[in-house]
Chain A
Amino acid sequence: MTSQYIALPKGVSEKDFDAAIRDFRKILGDASVLTSAEQLAPYIKTMMPVPDADHTPSAALLATTVEQIQKIVAVCNQYKVPIWMISTGKNLGYGSAAPAERGQVVLDLKRMNRILEVDKDLAFALVEPGVTYQQLYDYIKEHKLGLWLSMPAPSAIAGPVGNTLDRGVGYTPYGEHFLFACGMEVVLANGEVLRTGMGSMPNSNTWQVFKWGYGPYLDGIFTQSNYGIVTKFGFWLMPEPPAFKPFVIQYQHEEDIVEIVETIRPLRISGVIPNAVVIAHALYEAPVKAKRSDYVSGPGSIPDEAVYRIMKDHKLGIWNVYAALYGTQEQIDVNWKIVTQAFGQSGKAKILTEQEAADDPAFAYRAKLMRGEMTLTEFSLYNWRGGGGSMWFAPVSQARGSETLKQMALTKQILAKYGLDYSGEFIVGMRDMHHIVDVLYDKTDPEQTKAAYQCFDELLTEFSARGYGTYRVNTAFMDKVAETYGPVQRKVHKTLKKALDPNGIIAPGKSGIR
């Protein structure tokens, strides 16, 4: 007998699933319970080098209220049906909107999209999961609130809730997003609704201004996790500064990364440069300006000689350091002097500001990201190889020049073994760097897809062997990364899971937790 569903959850009979779907329809109405192949198509497409079948959902539920979600988890508990939550569902390169495991039901919260509050004086927002950065940006503009967003590069189509819950990053001084989160509302697996921090107290008006509340701080356990479904999310916004000065500093040699990092670290730690600086390799920037096929053809990774030609033709450094100063003009003038002195010392740096680089498309989009303006220009990365394959390799590094050089060399060497290019950048945190490499491959080419999978696997193995951990990973490799953090952490994660979700209905497999 053929099933009427395109997939079923692991261990759930079709009869039980039917009953669950009937109940979901009662809760949400027929139109908000999607089960046909056509309806589920947008939940299946991923950029990962694994068969779509591995991540095909059995259904998608479009919930709009907390009460509906409470009822949904009750049904899930009854029939042991697992759900996979998405907020804006644009986790591109990390698994997109598809579930971790075949047959999971996607709980799509995109339609739960009210902006509940934006406080101009205290500079915070409280939003529902489906709010996009574009929606919030428009709201702030319309109400003339004078506040800036910090967002990831897919800005307009992604959102603060999903991004922060996956511990994503942006490019303003508020770029380490979870640092600026303040207060969540979470539907637990037993249907109870928890408001974290000060939100637990009835009538408190400090939920979005004081993060810690009383007792153990809980917000962290709901990020990169499967312990609850976040339905409201508070976070801080940056007051629009009176002046803003973006700049780029270019270097010509790969080894110069040592000098770059050693120069930036003290400026970043002391707050002279306040934002999440990006040190982008030429191959990360090239797709905005150049075509790969104009420089190389045939298999294999791009040779250094071609990279140097691209740099010359398109006015790129091998490293391009994007940063900005924020504040009053006087503050900026003082800090600019410090920055130019620091970078000017060795004579290797070429410093460009808006005056020289405003028309440069790479500079223009980076400047937008550093001031919280919408842009999707970074999607140019996908024109480099074509074919829509991408995985973010995201190891964490110390902000120490010798370390970044080691990580870059190792990554390049492993990518080259599989014929892939180093499209990498370092995002400078407070004391760390997120080393972000887009492992780009042609997903329409089976050989390259296989190579990309093996390459990514080897990157994880080799990096973890040297003590380099990954901050976030796509859904095909979550178990592998969880393993690299050792058995004790895994056991604690599992213990919490058992306590909070004994039937394992919430996103089993997220971060390797079941």
Chain B
Amino acid sequence: MKKTKLENWVSGCIFAIFLTISNAWSAQDEKNSQGFAWKDGAEIYAKICAYCHEAHVGPQIRNRELPSEYIRRVVRNGNRAMPAFRPSEVDDESLIKLADFISKKEAQH
């Protein structure tokens, strides 16, 4: 069903009123009650690892069939200048997905 211009304008106004009301800080705690969670290994790789490992800062790690267990250990312990990443940053379950993502050949994804 196509909305008329007026309907669009009205729903826009309702949205604006909602925004205004929710600006009071008493409502702030209710908003965005969901914290952050990783979607998959590829996202973690892109938003953490790739900044070094695809940028000539750290070594290439993808497509080298590095053992998953080794990757997980390096992530948790760090390696020389590579910082360690805590389970609060990359939870254990996501780390398994990340290690899989890194160790498998690209075609396997």
A interface residues (Cβ-Cβ under 8 A, vs B): 34, 38-39, 41-45, 47, 60, 62, 64, 88-90, 92, 96-97, 108, 110-117, 119, 126, 128, 130-131, 134-135, 156-157, 199, 202-205, 207, 361, 374-377, 379-380, 382-383, 386-388, 390, 443-444
Q: B79: which A residues are within 8 A, CB to CB?
A: 388
B85, CB-defined interface residue at 8 Å: yes
A205 touching B36 in the complex, CB below 8 Å, given contacts A376-B51, A376-B52: no
Q: Which of B33, B36, B77 contacts A42 (CB 8 A)?
A: B77
> Cβ of A42 and Cβ of B78 under 8 Å apart?
yes
> Cβ of B26 and Cβ of A116 under 8 Å apart?
no
> Cβ of B52 and Cβ of A379 under 8 Å apart?
yes
> Cβ of A388 and Cβ of B32 under 8 Å apart?
no
Question: Which stretch, B4-12, B86-94, B97-105, touches the partner chain A?
Answer: B86-94
Q: Which of B31, B56, B58, B78 contacts A117 (CB 8 A)?
A: B31
Q: A361: which B residues are within 8 A, CB to CB?
A: 56
Q: Which of B57, B86, B88 contacts A376 (CB 8 A)?
A: B57
Interface centre among B26, B29, B83, B89 (most CB of A within 10 A): B83
In the assembled complex, the Cα of A47 lies from the Cα of B83 at a distance in Å of 9
B32-47 vs A, CB cutoff 8 Å, 1 = contact: the mask equals 1111100000000001
Per the 8 Å Cβ criterion, residues 4-26 of B in contact with A are 23-26
A42 touching B85 in the complex, CB below 8 Å, given contacts A116-B31, A376-B55, A376-B57: yes
> Cβ of B25 and Cβ of A47 under 8 Å apart?
no
> Cβ of B88 and Cβ of A379 under 8 Å apart?
no
Report the minimal beta-carbon distance from A47 to chain B, rounded to whole angstroms. Answer: 7
B80, CB-defined interface residue at 8 Å: yes
Q: Which of B26, B57, B76 contacts A203 (CB 8 A)?
A: B26
Report the minimal beta-carbon distance from A263 to chain B, rounded to whole angstroms. Answer: 32
Q: Which of B34, B56, B81, B87 contacts A388 (CB 8 A)?
A: B81
Report the minimal beta-carbon distance from B78 to chain A, rounded to whole angstroms. Answer: 4
Q: B23: which A residues are within 8 A, CB to CB?
A: 119, 205
Interface extent on B, as a size class?
A: 20 to 34
Cross-chain pairs A/B with CB under 8 angstroms, 29 sampled: A41-B84, A43-B84, A62-B87, A64-B35, A108-B86, A108-B88, A111-B35, A111-B88, A114-B34, A116-B32, A128-B35, A130-B35, A130-B36, A156-B48, A156-B51, A157-B83, A157-B89, A203-B25, A204-B25, A376-B51, A376-B52, A376-B55, A377-B55, A377-B57, A379-B58, A379-B81, A387-B81, A388-B82, A443-B80
Q: B35: which A residues are within 8 A, CB to CB?
A: 64, 111-114, 128, 130
Report the minimal beta-carbon distance from A1 to chain B, rounded to whole angstroms. Answer: 28
B108, CB-defined interface residue at 8 Å: no
Besides A41-B77, A97-B86, A126-B28, 9 new A-B residue pairs in contact (Cβ under 8 A), listed by A number? A42-B86, A45-B78, A110-B86, A110-B88, A112-B35, A114-B33, A205-B23, A376-B55, A388-B80
In the assembled complex, the Cα of A386 lies from the Cα of B57 at a distance in Å of 12
In the assembled complex, the Cα of A89 lies from the Cα of B78 at a distance in Å of 14
A137 to chain B: closest residue by CB: B47
In the assembled complex, the Cα of A47 lies from the Cα of B80 at a distance in Å of 8
Q: A207: which B residues are within 8 A, CB to CB?
A: 25
A154 to chain B: closest residue by CB: B83
Q: Which of A92, A135, A205 contacts B25 (CB 8 A)?
A: A205
Q: B80: which A residues are within 8 A, CB to CB?
A: 382, 386-388, 443-444
> Cβ of B48 and Cβ of A43 under 8 Å apart?
no
> Cβ of A39 and Cβ of B87 under 8 Å apart?
yes
In the assembled complex, the Cα of A371 lies from the Cα of B83 at a distance in Å of 25
Q: B51: which A residues are within 8 A, CB to CB?
A: 156, 374-377
In the assembled complex, the Cα of A199 lies from the Cα of B85 at a distance in Å of 34
A380 touching B57 in the complex, CB below 8 Å, given contacts A41-B77, A130-B88, A157-B48: yes
In the assembled complex, the Cα of A386 lies from the Cα of B81 at a distance in Å of 7
Q: Which of A92, A199, A203 contacts B24 (CB 8 A)?
A: A203
Interface centre among B23, B24, B57 (most CB of A within 10 A): B57
B33 to chain A: closest residue by CB: A114
